Structure 1
Amino acid sequence: MARLRTVDRTLDGPWEMIVTGPGACAGPGDLDTLSGFVPAPVPGTAAGALRAAGRWSDREPTPLHGSDIWYRTSLAGRGREILRFEGLATLCEVWLDGRLLLTSRSMFLAHEVAVDLDGSHILALAFRSLAQDLARPHKRGRWRPQLATPGSLRHARTTLLGFMPGWCPGVDAVGPYRPITRRGEGGRPTGIDLRASVEDGTGILSVGLSLPEAGGPVMVRCDGRTARLAETAPGRFEGRLALPGVALWWPHSHGEPRLHAVAVEAGGETFDLGRVGFRTITQVSPFAEGLSLAVNGVPVFCRGACWTPPDLVGLPGDRDAYAPLLELAAEAGMNMLRVGGTMLYEAQAFHDLCDELGILVWQDLMLANFDYPVDDPAFRAALETEVAQLLDRLQSSPSLCVVGGGSEVEQQAAMLGFPESVWRAGAVEAMLREGVAARRPDLVVVPNSPSGGDLPFSTNAGVTHYYGVGAYGRPFEDARRAEVRFASECLAFANVPEPVSLREAGLTDPRDPAWGLVVPRDRGADWDFEGVRDHYVGALYGVDPERLRRDDPERYLMLGRAAVAEVMEATFAEWRRAGSLTAGGLVWLHRDLAPGAGWGVVDAAGRPKSAWYALKRAFRPVQAVLSDEGLNGLHAHLRNETAAAIDATLALTFTTAAGKVAAKAERALSLAPREAVTLSSAALLGRFFDATASYRFGPAAHALAHLRLARADGTLLAEAFHHQAGRDATPREIGLSAALVEDRDGVVLRVATAQHALGVHVVLDGEGRPSDNWFHLAPGGERHLALTGTGGRPSGMVRAVNGSGAVRF
């Protein structure tokens, strides 16, 4: 059921922790003879406590799964109380005064235990060695995945983080990583069932709860309106509150994520039930034809990334840990994040923030790649409880929209050649659908990620993990040829952080052997994701990446950053054009799990990389992109996802390599709410012009096409570039300039160029970042960039990939 938002008292200690050999202490009484305890924050992990005590190295993580780890604290009180354990990683015994209260074998389950207190007590938690448990005899699965080791993990309900060589550091998740709370019995609602729905434009709030000692009428209040709940059984109250005209919840790309507080009043007391959002989520077409979602009846192109925890070591779950990263996601235009089956369920604060920021959440079950023993009654029962607790906890979260049966379970088996009767994860899907029908019938269920086609990884059905452009080195055209319907993973590269983060991590030279140790790779593959990035550096700029790495490592990293940005923008431009079959794409990953050139578009220090800036442009709600349609010329695709009409000016300019205008068109237009418009270059120019150099009547008349969509006052809405002659990154004088100037928004950085500037980027001397980076400028173009987080008058330099040098400001 839904949670009462009245804050219980936390058992935050002080706690202390000690690491022992496996089985060294049979019970908490044996701890009295030991020394070496360290302070241990709760919630928190053993790794986090050791790091705070100076006994932990991020570069060489201490293995913990081979040990037992004990936590203990004092607990004072009188009378009966309920102790709640939100998350214990992973094999845990809970002891009170030497008496075993609870044994948990899953880090994904919450537990409540009633205790009778009479003064001062000692509460102890024993996290037993997971390594020893995994080493005991287990029934082997039908297949053994390459992703994670050992194979006996299929029986364990723990995160795969730390068990995936090449993916992330070997950090062992051990400890009470979610809150431990206490509360007295009685006097407050229990069994709360809270559902928000929309019927014919009217918000419907359905409430059920148990309150045996109500002491009078029980009222529910929301959006300034109230309704009385009927007593349907002794102590059980239920009812509905109709809210005509209530403001709906939208993803931030399409509207305002409106939330409404809900409270229950009874016997002179008010109980906070949190906030709800009224919205509908529907699947536009049959899943086999491809996942496509509509929110409140409006089709939404879902774009964003796959989520990783804010800190792999401490696994924090508070607002302060989540907020900076989620705010970056929203700023980049991401309207969906996927919590994949290789990670862990995030804390309530994550979902609360996604509700507030208008970011849709795709939540996988924590199942990935393994042949899980769902035919084992004990395993199945634990998984059913896990699903129920997850849906109950998030019962009133409007951002939750998709729940999936896990990651690459079907794909793993299918790629090993098993028939559909083996790889089809039907039992988990049925369990998930049953749980959703009972607790969150408004959600969309995805059987597995990927799934839905003749093979689960078919790109033109269901959902796919699309790495054609990316890991498989396909040209940009493959993004259309593959007919991707929904990419729940895509575009994985070893994304290079900005120089300041590399300096902090001591990773400034890509020739240093330490650099390669943190480059992500698939286990067993003879290539890594730096090689994938290098492939596109060579393809885009006509250079030899290996030679460049050896002779000019700084330029090698510069072109690497620029290439990733180009690939990101080009792929999403294809997927967001009018006529595209694609309804969504989620980049792998949002944030790095460790310092270095990882998959994240945000680095381990929380700073955006070049890919983040590219996505910020690619994900604009008001967008303009260009597509090469061969003999049909260039097509300008304009999209307004907002609920407001936009009056704008559209300009399409063709210039030579020297910057001379070869052809130009400009027109005023109005984009209606939610409207998409496509205009050909011929329609815009009103005459024939070989915009794609397809007719071969002679040398191309232009090298660059620039599309610019701006408001009537000149404010840039979106722009796009088509490099007919390729991307010439040869350094030369292009007339690049930069200066701090005053405009209506205060001090901004004015960047201008005489000739086309490729991959323009700002490097600040201190902290802070520009509002845009790694962008192009058309000949004679300029941009005004806001600089945030600088703490004073900023300084730095501006460079272009094809510029002869840096310009100071």
Structure 2
Amino acid sequence: MLEASPLDGWKLRHEGEELPAVVPGCVHTDLLAAGAISDPFVGSAESEVAWVGRREWTYETHLPAVPSGHEQTDLVFDGLDTVAEITLAGRLLGRVRNMHRSYRFDVTGLGGPLSVRFASAYAEAEAVRGKVGDRPGAYAEPYQYLRKMACSFGWDWGPTLVTAGIWRPVRVERWSTARLARVRPLVTVEQGVGVVELLVDVERTRVQAGLTLEARVGDRRVRADVVGSGAAVRVEVPDAQLWWPRGCGEQPLYEVELTLHHNSAPLDVWRRRVGFRRVELDTSADARGTGFTLVVNGERLFARGVNWIPDDVFPSRVTRERYRKRLRQAADAGVDLIRVWGGGLYESEDFYDACDELGLLVWQDFPFACAAYPEEQPLRGEVEAEARENVVRLMPHPSLVLWNGNNENLWGFRDWGWEERLGGDSWGEGYYLGVLPRVVAELDPTRPYTAGSPWSGSWSRHPNDPAHGTHHSWEVWNRQDYADYRSEVPRFVAEFGWQAPPAHATLRRALPGEVLAADSPGMLHHQKAEDGNGKLARGLARHFVVPEADFDRWHYLTQVNQARAVATGIEHWRSHWPVCAGTIVWQLNDCWPVTSWSAIDGDGREKPLYHELRRLYADRLLTVQEREGRLVVAAVNQCAERWEGTVTLRRLSVQGRELAAATAELAVGAREVGETPVPAELVPAGAEEFLVADSRGCPRAGGAGSEGRLRAVHFPASDREVPYPRPEFEVSVAPGTVTVTAHTLVRDLLLQADRLDPDARADRGLVTLLPGERVTIGVEGWQTPDAAAARAALYCQEPAR
């Protein structure tokens, strides 16, 4: 039977110095553990450790040459970052140049000192650039010249910390006769029968008759003979339970076990969990253009998505528990789709396992982002090899529903001046429209492939045409007001977002001792977007009067503005289902403490946007929208059940007086949107009035404490024009709760729980209370409840100063 054991005892060597090394890990984490560098997440230490990415580093250990009773011994690296030379007892085993691949070396009968010497990623990238020629990219760093996580070189939300090291596990495998070299599971549903077809490649030490495979799925077992180097085994599961996205059904998973035998003796075992479901991508043309709708088990879905970046700039630090926590946060926010963005990684099995269990659909980018990628060697062969390995590795996961060729490169070629600069040089089109779709079609025909995001489906149209395929909406953040989200109805919004700083406690940890200001040195260092603070300031000025030299107020208002911006887009686009079939917010998470577009900051704290997503992505949503100059209340029903009830409409003054009221009946079909016109007498007449729409008895409402009530609030003017009363409210506390009772209109009330205790967390974000209403906010991690402290941590809209 194949035996596998980890290889330990690693040391990190550089210029004669030796440090303990942790594998999996990287140079930076080993240097941090030894106290040799400062934490690059704190202050401006990122710049102080830039030298690390420009040096060579060597990992060393000893491989014992112990007779094992097996015919072959393999040394297996699951991940090497990135360009390295591996030697054993002075003998070259191989040279590698791809972070996204695993490597296997035959070390039968060998032993002695084992060395993995990493070249500087910068040196390698520059060497490749010198060979293939210069290519344009969104950033000056040379990330497109080697197969490495692009955002190691920095991004508009990430630090430049260019890693090296053995970033995934290393093991020694000992085996005889034969082993399972590759297992490719095709999981389908045929007329209610679940089918698992296992296509198997077998590696042999020698030609040997009597090799058989036994596959088991539940209580179903099938055997097959191995002929030559492979075999196929088909297992049928009658009455298989379907795997569904969260909110649509359950997520049953079936254990698949494949055993390779020689005669009756087991040689190797492969185990995975699979789920039975059918996935399609509907890109058919219609009167509005070209659609982009995910269909799972025959159900057409509005995808409620978030973009995922690596959760740490040092990926080896992301544990199974951390993946699960972050993805659980996503699921709790109503998210049903995670897009793994192309400047990052093919994530570990732990990530996809959690998505399988939580019912989170996965859109997987191939790792290409925001640059022209050369198609010459040595890159072309690496691209195909990594694609083949990772497509097969991830195939068992039912959560994986879409392969995507790249992030923004087709758009960049057409719109960012690349075409002229390239002058006919290769830039990646051959990957996205040739190599990658061919690999997916050959290896994983059960899943759809799309060439890029954004992509309109054809060069006959602009790649980012909102009427066709996927669309990235960045003009709004970069140059416009978020109200302009309402000017378009794209078929699928794969990226859009708005910035806000991280939580206060995160800033205090990352910038110790600094007097915080929007433009203080540490804040500027932890703002990586081009003119990021300028865009934040202009976005605020359109809606709020921002007091000068009041950081706390600025911090609060930028958080509010982020939530408002994203809400404006999602409410508008969801109300236009099925023309628009999905939104993917940029972005769920951060990889370090930074001002960014994230809903969860680099320390794992939830911004107000996170809690707003719980409302926006709930199965049922109530929103006030404009249709041809008239207001309507749109009831968005993503449930499989009909939504029937009433909606109460009230026109109120900001002083709290009811000016008019009416009720209307709701009758919205399953997975449909219903619209109720707002009577003329209920339309707010100016900045001193607003509209409130309430629907009760709605069990699929989102957000903590919604208690089955859905509410939409519509103000016809920007906040800077609204004559808010001075907010008056009472605060009471009890263990685990803060209760606020409003005596006036209190708009955008926010308890910043991390100001009470860095470990404290509130169960909701922004809340608007009418006079006489109250809200009870759950608070975890606050050990000494105090009403005065709670009041000091509460923020809301105030009269303009």
Q: TM-score range by the shorter chain?
A: 0.7 to 0.9
Q: Give the equivalent residue in structure 1 for 2:703.
A: none
| 2:281–2:295 CA contact under 8 A, matched in 1 | yes
Q: Give the equivalent residue in structure 1 for 2:293.
A: 292
Matched, 1:102 2:94: yes
Structure 2 distance, partners of 1:596, 1:725, is: 31
Aligned AA (1:174): A
Q: Give the equivalent residue in structure 1 for 2:729.
A: 736
Q: Indicate which of 536, 541, 555 corresponds to 1:538.
A: 541
SS across alignment from 1:65: helix
Matched, 1:242 2:236: yes
Residue 237 of structure 1: CA displacement?
A: 4.5
Q: Give the equivalent residue in structure 2 for 1:760.
A: 749
Structure 2 distance, partners of 1:568, 1:519, is: 20
Aligned AA (1:464): H
| 1:468–1:479 CA contact under 8 A, matched in 2 | no
Aligned AA (2:149): T
Residue 179 of structure 1: CA displacement?
A: 1.3
Aligned AA (2:692): A
Matched, 1:363 2:355: no
Give CA deviations for 1:383-410 in whole Å, capped at 9, x if unaligned: 1111101101101111112222212222
Q: Indicate which of 452, 476, 500 corresponds to 1:448.
A: 452
Residue 346 to residue 447, structure 1, CA distance change in 2 (3 Å): same
Q: Indicate which of 780, 796, 799 corresponds to 1:801.
A: 796
Q: Give the equivalent residue in structure 2 for 1:30.
A: none
Matched, 1:18 2:18: no
| 1:141–1:371 CA contact under 8 A, matched in 2 | no
Structure 1 distance, partners of 2:562, 2:354, is: 29
Matched, 1:168 2:168: no
Q: Give the equivalent residue in structure 1 for 2:693.
A: 706
Matched, 1:393 2:393: yes
Matched, 1:660 2:650: no
Residue 445 of structure 1: CA displacement?
A: 1.5
Aligned AA (2:449): V
Q: Indicate which of 618, 625, 628 corresponds to 1:627.
A: 625
| 2:53–2:121 CA contact under 8 A, matched in 1 | yes
Aligned AA (2:751): V
Structure 2 distance, partners of 1:412, 1:8, is: 45
Identity %: 25
Residue 580 of structure 1: CA displacement?
A: 6.1
Aligned AA (1:161): C
Mean Cα deviation higher: 141-150 or 241-250: 141-150
Give CA deviations for 1:459-492 in whole Å, capped at 9, x if unaligned: 332222211332222341x323233222222114
Structure 2 distance, partners of 1:359, 1:741, is: 36
Residue 664 to residue 246, structure 1, CA distance change in 2 (3 Å): farther
Structure 1 distance, partners of 2:707, 2:155, is: 47
Structure 2 distance, partners of 1:731, 1:797, is: 22
Residue 501 to residue 65, structure 1, CA distance change in 2 (3 Å): closer
Aligned AA (1:102): G
Residue 264 to residue 412, structure 1, CA distance change in 2 (3 Å): closer
Aligned AA (1:751): V
Structure 2 distance, partners of 1:182, 1:730, is: 71
Aligned AA (1:60): A
Structure 2 distance, partners of 1:78, 1:712, is: 65
Q: How does 1:341-352 map to 2 (within 5 A)?
A: 341-352=342-353
Give CA deviations for 1:743-786 in whole Å, capped at 9, x if unaligned: xxxx5443332333211111231222122112322343333333
| 1:161–1:342 CA contact under 8 A, matched in 2 | yes
Aligned AA (1:388): R
Q: Indicate which of 521, 525, 538 corresponds to 2:529.
A: 521
Residue 636 to residue 135, structure 1, CA distance change in 2 (3 Å): closer
Aligned AA (1:691): V
Give CA deviations for 1:128-175 in whole Å, capped at 9, x if unaligned: 12333334462455752242324xx43322222242465421201111
Q: Indicate which of 464, 469, 490 corresponds to 1:462.
A: 469
Structure 2 distance, partners of 1:357, 1:7, is: 32
Residue 797 to residue 599, structure 1, CA distance change in 2 (3 Å): same
Residue 432 to residue 791, structure 1, CA distance change in 2 (3 Å): farther
Q: Indicate which of 411, 429, 432 corresponds to 1:428.
A: 432
Residue 40 of structure 1: CA displacement?
A: 1.0
Aligned AA (2:474): Y
Matched, 1:615 2:621: no
Q: Give the equivalent residue in structure 2 for 1:28.
A: none
Aligned AA (1:73): T
Q: Indicate which of 690, 715, 732 corresponds to 1:723.
A: 715
Residue 418 of structure 1: CA displacement?
A: 5.7
| 1:154–1:371 CA contact under 8 A, matched in 2 | yes
Structure 2 distance, partners of 1:146, 1:264, is: 45
SS across alignment from 1:249: coil
Q: Indicate which of 631, 635, 639 corresponds to 1:642.
A: 639
CA RMSD of aligned residues (A): 3.2
Q: Give the equivalent residue in structure 2 for 1:38.
A: 19
Structure 2 distance, partners of 1:221, 1:409, is: 43
Residue 781 to residue 201, structure 1, CA distance change in 2 (3 Å): farther
Structure 2 distance, partners of 1:214, 1:787, is: 66
Q: Give the equivalent residue in structure 2 for 1:750.
A: 739
Residue 78 to residue 451, structure 1, CA distance change in 2 (3 Å): same
Matched, 1:198 2:215: no
Q: Give the equivalent residue in structure 2 for 1:525.
A: none
Structure 2 distance, partners of 1:108, 1:624, is: 44
Consecutive unaligned residues of structure 1, counting only runs of 5 or more, are 21-33, 523-527, 683-687, 694-698
Structure 2 distance, partners of 1:457, 1:575, is: 17
Residue 661 of structure 1: CA displacement?
A: 2.0
Structure 2 distance, partners of 1:794, 1:586, is: 39
Mean Cα deviation higher: 425-434 or 701-710: 701-710
Matched, 1:122 2:128: no
Structure 2 distance, partners of 1:568, 1:700, is: 22
Mean Cα deviation higher: 37-46 or 229-238: 229-238
Residue 48 of structure 1: CA displacement?
A: 0.9
| 1:255–1:643 CA contact under 8 A, matched in 2 | no
Matched, 1:479 2:485: yes
Give CA deviations for 1:358-379 in whole Å, capped at 9, x if unaligned: 22222222222333221x2542
Query: How high is the TM-score relative to the length of structure 2?
Result: 0.87
| 1:148–1:160 CA contact under 8 A, matched in 2 | no
| 2:257–2:270 CA contact under 8 A, matched in 1 | yes
Query: How many residue pairs were aligned?
Result: 754
Structure 1 distance, partners of 2:746, 2:4, is: 57
Mean Cα deviation higher: 578-587 or 205-214: 205-214
Residue 229 of structure 1: CA displacement?
A: 2.9
Mean Cα deviation higher: 704-713 or 618-627: 704-713
Structure 2 distance, partners of 1:317, 1:117, is: 35
| 1:631–1:692 CA contact under 8 A, matched in 2 | no
Mean Cα deviation higher: 231-240 or 609-618: 231-240
Q: Indicate which of 51, 57, 62 corresponds to 1:69.
A: 57
Aligned AA (2:466): T
Q: Indicate which of 70, 76, 79 corresponds to 1:87.
A: 79
Residue 491 to residue 499, structure 1, CA distance change in 2 (3 Å): same
SS across alignment from 1:205: strand
Residue 110 of structure 1: CA displacement?
A: 1.1
Structure 2 distance, partners of 1:706, 1:736, is: 23
Structure 2 distance, partners of 1:298, 1:788, is: 38
Residue 563 to residue 237, structure 1, CA distance change in 2 (3 Å): same
Consecutive unaligned residues of structure 2, counting only runs of 5 or more, are 701-705
Give CA deviations for 1:303-339 in whole Å, capped at 9, x if unaligned: 3322222221354353123222222221222222222
| 2:312–2:590 CA contact under 8 A, matched in 1 | no
Structure 2 distance, partners of 1:390, 1:314, is: 17
Structure 1 distance, partners of 2:578, 2:258, is: 47
Aligned AA (1:431): V
SS across alignment from 2:108: strand
| 1:649–1:712 CA contact under 8 A, matched in 2 | no
Residue 780 to residue 652, structure 1, CA distance change in 2 (3 Å): farther
Structure 2 distance, partners of 1:707, 1:468, is: 33
Aligned AA (2:297): N
| 2:570–2:616 CA contact under 8 A, matched in 1 | yes
Q: How does 1:328-343 map to 2 (within 5 A)?
A: 328-343=329-344
Q: Give the equivalent residue in structure 1 for 2:308.
A: 307
Give CA deviations for 1:272-331 in whole Å, capped at 9, x if unaligned: 521001112211233871422111121222233222222213543531232222222212
